[in-house]
Amino acid sequence: MKDIFKKVSKICYGTLALSDLQCSLPAEKRLELLNYAYSKGINFYDTAELYENYDLLRDFLKDKQRDQVFISTKSYSYDINTAKKSIDKVLNEMDTDYIDIFMLHEQEGLSTFEGHYEAVRYFLECKNKGIIKKFGISTHFIKGVEEVVDLDEIDIIHPIININGIGIADGSKEEMIKSIKRAKANNKFILSMKPLGGGHLSRNPVDSLKYINSLDFIDSIAVGMRYKEEIDFNIDLILNNRVSEDKLVNISKKERKIKIAYWCKGCGKCVEKCNQKALKIIDGKAEVDFSKCTLCSYCVSACDEFCIKIV
């Protein structure tokens, strides 16, 4: 099989935007968007166990030639049991014999990676059997990139990077770029995340996307899209270096934010989950610092009361 990294599209469809964590569209509309993107040449799709949308990808894959679609997923597995559950879940729920890319989710550095190494060993066994084609990590941390670049186990790194450095948990944009360049020099595939900073940069998508597209050490750009206009706009700009002014007007009206419902009990689980320090408990309720929030939605998954929504 030809190296999948040579076949994936420059744009990777980030399907967090089509998960229940961020999307209220009916299932058929979500599937329509995936198929529309595929018809436009996007063949790379990123998800995660956390997003709980493997069924959407299963329906998407049904009428596709499997080796022409490339799926990336992630989990928080830390031992052999959780690793087995993660692999069984993705294979069964997507109804596929293999997963193209599997990553450990939200790695903070070498100590985190080593703490998950029992799971890593199982994933590498799956790779040897062809169940996983490529293995790597996702991270919001400069250390998460810097401290794994020399590891032979890692094929792909999925770091946060954007024009303003929004969402980098432990340093500056310049430091993150330096680490990513080193990873690229060590032959790691680089799949960037959050080119629009979780929505903070959505009012200026042209400069933001042009910036990330100009970085020659980025192999593919993961971006969430909830409208056909977004898909068309991103393809025009990233692949064709052309700005579609009419679509720009439409997508600029579709800003998203986190909303905390009135029934929040102030338990603090969302605060613990947030790497961006964007949440605080004030007067017994969770409150959002919108200047720090990247709309990663991880706090949504931590809320037992279902009172956090992306709207």
Please, are residues 180 and 139 in contact by the beta-carbon 8 Å criterion? no
Q: Is the pLDDT of residue 239 over 60?
A: yes
Residue 2: band (very low, low, confident or very high) from pLDDT cuts 50, 70, 90: low
User: What does the pLDDT read at residue 1?
Assistant: 40
Asked whether residue 306 carries a pLDDT value surpassing 80, the answer given is: no
Confidence of residue 24 (pLDDT cuts 50, 70, 90): confident
- Residue of 191 and 275 predicted with greater confidence: 191
CB 292 within 8 A of CB 279: no
- Model pTM? 0.88
Closest of 286, 275, 221, 231 to residue 254, by C-alpha: 231
What single-letter DSSP state applies at residue 167?
A: T
User: What is the pLDDT averaged over residues 85-93?
Assistant: 98
Checking if the pLDDT of 291 tops 70, the result is: yes
Bridge partners for 14 per DSSP: 46, 224
Residues of the chain above pLDDT 90, percent: 77
| Structural domains for the chain | 4-251 (3.20.20.100), 258-310 (3.30.70.20)
Q: What is the pLDDT at residue 257?
A: 76
pLDDT of residue 262: 83
User: What are the structure tokens assigned to 48, written together?
Assistant: 């995660």
pLDDT at position 21: 85
Of 59, 66, 85, 86, whose CA–CA distance to 74 is shortest? 86
DSSP H/E element including 192: strand 189-192
Contacts of residues 247-252 at CB distance under 8 Å and 24 or more positions apart, as own/partner, are: 248/205, 248/206, 251/202, 251/205, 251/227, 252/202, 252/203, 252/205
Q: What is the pLDDT of residue 289?
A: 92
Mean pLDDT score of the chain: 92
Which range has the worst mean pLDDT, 39-53, 143-157, 202-216? 202-216
Q: Confidence class of residue 302 from pLDDT cuts 50, 70 and 90?
A: confident
Tens-place pLDDT, residues 149-176:
999 999 999 999 999 998 899 999 999 9
Looking at residue 244, its pLDDT comes to: 73
Amino acid sitting at position 172 = S
Average pLDDT score over residue span 99-123: 97
pLDDT-derived band at 236, boundaries 50, 70, 90: very high
Closest CA to 213 of 194, 238, 188: 238
What tokens does 9 get?
A: 């599209």
Distances (CA, A) of 150 to 136, 145, 173: 12, 10, 21
Could you tell me which residues come within 8 angstroms of residue 10 by beta carbon, excluding any fewer than 6 positions away? 213, 219, 220, 221, 238, 239
pLDDT score of 248: 66
Calpha distance 265→146 (Å, rounded): 39
List of E strands, 30-143:
44-46, 70-75, 99-104, 132-139
Give me the amino acid identity at 210: K
pLDDT above 70 for 252 = no
Q: Cα dihedral angle (69, 16, 152, 183), rounded to 10 degrees?
A: 110
